[in-house]
Structure 1
Amino acid sequence: MDKVISRLEEWIVAIVLAVMSIIAFVNILSRGLANYSLSFTEEITVNLFVLLTFVGTAIGVRQSAHLGFTLIYDRVNHSLKRVMTLFVGLMMVLLFGTLLYFGIQMVSFQIEMGQRTPSLGWPQWWFSLAMPVGALLCLYRTLQVTVKEYREHNVKGEQKI
């Protein structure tokens, strides 16, 4: 299951980045050659960027590629490292859980109100789904990484290899 989610994340990022690049390139050509701007492209690009950010964050959490300040963590004993790992994991779960909750609320509201995008007139919730879906992926990856890091140290404080 984890492999499927990993591939899905990577494909989403690749496809979204390709679509954004193509749209931006076509808009540049349109402005340069025809002196005509495709205004709707900004709407699509901005909304796809949100999806790209969330899914990219999930990949970053999965690969432990997020920025971190480890000076204190590196100098404490293994028991305190376990406590710090749980604390950081809990804070990340709280963040992504909050984003998931409010993302679901936002999408529900947009569906209920029938909100549409300004330029294309598409349902706004299509784009807004990026927030709860991305937050759910980040939440899953946070739990996965926290459990993995916590288990890396056994009860005696020796690091497992």
Structure 2
Amino acid sequence: MPHPSDKAAAANPGLAEADVPALLAQDEEPQVRVPLAIEDWLSAGLLGLLAVMTMANVLVRYFTSQSFAWTEEISIVLMIVMTLVASSAAVARNRHIRIEYFAERGSPERRRRLVRFAAGCVALMFWLLAVLSARITYDQYIYGDTSPAIGVPEWWYSVWMPLLSLAIALRAVGVWRRA
């Protein structure tokens, strides 16, 4: 069985032997101050909660021909929160969507610059999203908007968007610093 470094060298014929560990470093967990296990466990917990809630709604609908009105509303919020939490872990691990042809080609300096550029763009975008969603959450709080299905304040749902967007932006800044 060939060694992973042999595969990396074969895929990139111009790659020097010293560059091979840099390519393989993406498979290792990054050294971060805030543990990535937080996002991992929170994502798994949210997914489990979603599954239990949905299954309960299916069973109630099957046996009573009724449904819980609140499950759809809560499910949507949980899916959004779960997506943002998992995105934070993906950004910290430098696993966001990119075109590998460009991201993995070239000198180590070029790859480092691309990683820093991408991390800077992600940090800026999610910082802006945090600011704008905080304004929306504040407006929902001030005007007393309530949710359509269960009538709770809408800011209870939307408060997670600025907080998690800020977490993603901070994870992107961490990637930029490590690069």
Per-residue deviation, 1:91: 1.1
Separation in structure 2 between the aligned mates of residue 79 and residue 65 of structure 1, nearest angstrom? 19
Equivalent AA in structure 2 for residue 30 of structure 1: V
Per-residue deviation, 1:124: 0.8
Are the aligned partners of 2:147 and 2:154 in contact in 1 as well (CA < 8 Å)? Answer: yes
Q: Secondary structure at the match of 2:130?
A: helix
1:39 to 57, 69, 90: 69
Separation in structure 1 between the aligned mates of residue 104 and residue 80 of structure 2, nearest angstrom? 34
1:110-143 deviations in whole A, cap 9, x for unaligned?
Answer: 1111111111111111110121111011111111
Equivalent AA in structure 2 for residue 46 of structure 1: I
- Partner in structure 2 of residue 69 of structure 1: 99
C-alpha spacing 1:80/1:8, structure 2 compared with 1 (3 Å): closer
TM-score normalised by L of structure 2:
0.75
Equivalent AA in structure 2 for residue 114 of structure 1: G
Separation in structure 1 between the aligned mates of residue 103 and residue 77 of structure 2, nearest angstrom? 37
1:79-126 deviations in whole A, cap 9, x for unaligned?
Answer: 322322222122111211111111111111111111111111111111
Are the aligned partners of 2:116 and 2:175 in contact in 1 as well (CA < 8 Å)? Answer: no
Are the aligned partners of 1:54 and 1:130 in contact in 2 as well (CA < 8 Å)? Answer: no
Separation in structure 1 between the aligned mates of residue 50 and residue 105 of structure 2, nearest angstrom? 43
Please tell me whether residue 121 in structure 1 is matched to residue 121 in structure 2: no
Are the aligned partners of 1:62 and 1:145 in contact in 2 as well (CA < 8 Å)? Answer: yes
Identify the structure with bigger relative contact order (alpha carbons < 8 Å, sequence gap 6+). Answer: 1
Are the aligned partners of 2:92 and 2:175 in contact in 1 as well (CA < 8 Å)? Answer: yes
Name the count of aligned residue pairs. 147
Separation in structure 1 between the aligned mates of residue 72 and residue 111 of structure 2, nearest angstrom? 45
Please tell me whether residue 147 in structure 1 is matched to residue 177 in structure 2: yes
Largest Rg, 1 or 2? 2
Task: List gaps (5 residues or longer) in structure 1.
Answer: 151-161
Please tell me whether residue 30 in structure 1 is matched to residue 60 in structure 2: yes
Per-residue deviation, 1:74: 2.4
Equivalent AA in structure 2 for residue 76 of structure 1: G
Are the aligned partners of 1:114 and 1:123 in contact in 2 as well (CA < 8 Å)? Answer: yes
Please tell me whether residue 17 in structure 1 is matched to residue 44 in structure 2: no
TM-score normalised by L of structure 1:
0.83
1:28-81 deviations in whole A, cap 9, x for unaligned?
Answer: 001111111112110010011110110010011122332321212322223322
Separation in structure 1 between the aligned mates of residue 109 and residue 39 of structure 2, nearest angstrom? 34
Per-residue deviation, 1:15: 2.5
Separation in structure 2 between the aligned mates of residue 24 and residue 69 of structure 1, nearest angstrom? 36
Percent of residue pairs bearing the same amino acid type: 24
Task: List gaps (5 residues or longer) in structure 2.
Answer: 1-32
